[in-house]
Amino acid sequence: MDLETVKSKLHAMNFRLTQERELVLRTLMESGEMFTAMQLYDRVKEQYNKVGLTTVYRLFEVLTKLRLVTPFLIDGEIYYTFCQGGHHHHFVCLDCHRVKNIYGCEMDTRDFADLGKVEYHRMDLFGHCENCQGSVQPC
Amino acid sequence: MDLETVKSKLHAMNFRLTQERELVLRTLMESGEMFTAMQLYDRVKEQYNKVGLTTVYRLFEVLTKLRLVTPFLIDGEIYYTFCQGGHHHHFVCLDCHRVKNIYGCEMDTRDFADLGKVEYHRMDLFGHCENCQGSVQPC
DNA sequence: AGCTTATAGAAAATGTTTTTCTATAAGGCG
DNA sequence: CGCCTTATAGAAAAACATTTTCTATAAGCT
Ligand SMILES: [Mn+2]
Ligand SMILES: [Mn+2]
Ligand SMILES: [Zn+2]
Ligand SMILES: [Zn+2]
């Protein structure tokens, strides 16, 4: 998905795409990584200009409403990754925090009807991506 | 798993099973639910005596180290559920927050070798358990 | 260009989690 | 048992994370 599409989704919900939001969104979308609010704030600062931390928090809030972001809990911290399109699963690199989408879910939720009514499910794989294999782990 | 087993696991790591920990642990284990620290603190208070909130936080910390607890991120909040035994998946009721274990994982992580080296994975189903189906949703 | 209203960002407020500190008791050992 | 060592309880403070408030600004519309 490109920035223009996100823009229309924002507009459809009466949100605006400000210059600040565009900087943050670009950083998030182009990285393929997941970030805590503070991490994304720092990344934006180093790559572009400075934006307010509040702006990052508010963007995560908005993107969550639009379901354009998926949260991950890792080591007690909440990370967000840009995420859109149909249902899919994830591979998360524990080293570089890059996220890869896995399409083609074969699960049939009817198999679990005895447990209750399944609304949705998630599957996340965690490991070390090709880039990070063999390389020294970040401290 | 019963309390005695947890006790030995604690002792094996040089942790102690105090009266306060036992109260909190009982509440957690017997409920089958997942709790935020504050929720478990409140539940212990109403069912038994009062314990310190710090004690609950510290117990979650210890149980996390022993891998006797699994964290869930729901609506921006971190919940913990008592969780032990071999690899399995979860069904979480969005209403009552009870958790059911799903054994018999058929996934072969080698199917994803092209993505990187998979260390572990999780799968969580979310929905409404039999008890909560048809009943009025909690506010 | 002009209008309306969502947003930026600094500062304050709020909420959550961790740390500190002292008294207590768990568990080990004789 | 009784004694000893050391992990833990819990209150209070500190640290940290997130949300709210408030005013100026600019996005988007006409
Ligand atoms: Mn995704
Ligand atoms: Mn479990
Ligand atoms: Zn990687
Ligand atoms: Zn339920």
Report pLDDT digits (tens) over B41-56.
999 999 888 899 999 9
Rounded Cα distance, A116 and B94, in Å: 11
H-run or E-run covering A39: helix A37-47
CATH 1.10.3470.10 assigned to domain A3-82? The reply is no
pLDDT tens-digit readout, A43-80:
999 988 889 999 999 999 999 999 999 999 999 999 99
**Residues of chain A positioned with their CB less than 8 A from the CB of B93:** 116
pLDDT band at B135 (very low <50, low <70, confident <90, very high): low
Give residue A16's pLDDT: 97
Residue B138 pLDDT exceeds 50? no
Say what the pLDDT of residue B48 is: 82
Query: Is the pTM value of this prediction over 0.95?
Result: no
Of residues B59 and B85, which shows the higher confidence score?
B59
Of B117, B125, B127, the CB nearest to A133: B117
Q: B134 falls in which pLDDT band (50, 70, 90)? A: confident
Check A127 against B116: CB less than 8 A apart.
yes
Closest residue to B91, CB basis, from A100, A112, A125: A112
Query: What band does B136 get if pLDDT is binned at 50, 70 and 90?
Result: low
Q: Categorize the per-residue pLDDT at B139 as very low, low, confident or very high, splitting at 50, 70 and 90.
A: very low
Query: Is the per-residue pLDDT at A126 higher than 50?
Result: yes
Q: How far apart are the first and last CA of chain A?
A: 33
pLDDT, position A50: 86
What is the DSSP code string of B32-94? -BEE-HHHHHHHHHHHS----HHHHHHHHHHHHHTT-EEEEEETTEEEEEE--SSS-EEEEET
Mean pLDDT of A25-29: 97
Q: Do B119 and A128 touch (CB under 8 A)?
A: yes
Domain ranges of chain A: 3-82, 89-127
CA of A110: how far to CAs of A9, A117, A124, B90, B113, in Å? 32, 9, 20, 15, 28
Output B92 or B136, whichever has higher pLDDT: B92
Q: CA A21, CA A29: separation in Å to the nearest integer? A: 12
Q: Look up residue A24 and give its two tokens.
A: 């943050």
